[in-house]
A = this chain, B = another copy of it.
Amino acid sequence: MSSVAGSDDRTAAARIRDAAIALFGELGTDKATIRGVAAAAGVSPALVLHHFGSKEGLRAACDEYVVAEYRRSKQDAVESGTTDPFAALAGVEKSLSHLRYLSRAIRDGSPAASRLFDEMVAESKRVMQLSVAKGLLRPSEAPHDRAVLMVAWQFGGLVLHEHVARGMGAEPFSTELTARIARAALEVLTHGVFTDARYADAWQATDRSGDDHTAMEPNEEDRP
């Protein structure tokens, strides 16, 4: 309810940026053309270059903007008091185009998206440490790896949202879909899926690369 206000009182650069976010997210940075962005923003193709230098510059600007927005909204959600890692995912229904863009950016491996991933790993790790101390989360034998995995799963749900939606027979980004994902995820993350620890024990027993890779986790500090 914030970005796509109907009025065109935004500055031309902002209109271009928003149109680019929408088009890049919908078609990908390759298929989306400068001419298409310009047409969607109601300006000439040359103006796009005038403001952003190049297509890559435009992409970088969109990256910065969307990631900053996402970071901000997530920060708000965190400061609202929720501590579970899925609150963020559930709370970001606000802007479809931004989500779509983010999904694309992660898929395409843009630098900003990679930075975001790393940041979220660090923050997830920190929050998880706190939650473990509070007794809300089980301690892990490999806290860093677990944090990476959980962020990857969270982002994976975003990147593969189209497939997940199709698989569940629900509309992409619909509240019903996010609710069902959250429900299934909570179930698995609360109770696990296995009835006993035979698989985990069996894996443990194979002792591949030993028990020492718990100690070889990189960057133990929280801020990079």
Please give the residue numbers on chain A whose beta carbons come within 8 Å of chain B beta carbons, in ascending order: 28, 30-31, 84, 106-107, 109, 114, 117-118, 121, 128, 135-138, 140-142, 144-146, 148-153, 155-157, 159-160, 162-164, 166-169, 175-176, 179-200, 203-204, 208-209, 213, 216-219
Give every chain B residue within 8 A of A198 (Cβ-Cβ).
Answer: 136
> Contact: A142 with B184, CB < 8 Å?
yes
Specify the chain B residue showing the minimal Cβ separation from A160. Answer: B152
Contact of A187 among B135, B142, B167, B191 (CB under 8 A): B142
> Contact: B168 with A163, CB < 8 Å?
no
> Contact: A163 with B106, CB < 8 Å?
yes
State the copy count for this chain: 2
Q: A148-B167, A155-B163, A156-B160 are in contact. List 16 more A-B contacts (CB 8 A).
A: A28-B30, A106-B160, A136-B194, A136-B195, A138-B191, A141-B187, A142-B180, A142-B187, A146-B184, A150-B193, A152-B157, A156-B157, A182-B203, A188-B189, A188-B192, A189-B192
> Contact: A148 with B135, CB < 8 Å?
no
Give every chain B residue within 8 A of A144 (Cβ-Cβ).
Answer: 168
Contact of A145 among B152, B183, B218 (CB under 8 A): B183
How many angstroms from the CA of A86 to the CA of B1 in the assembled complex? 40
How many angstroms from the CA of A195 to the CA of B132 in the assembled complex? 9
User: Counting chain B CB atoms within 10 Å of each CB, which of A30, A141, A181, A199 scores highest?
Assistant: A199
How many angstroms from the CA of A169 to the CA of B162 in the assembled complex? 29
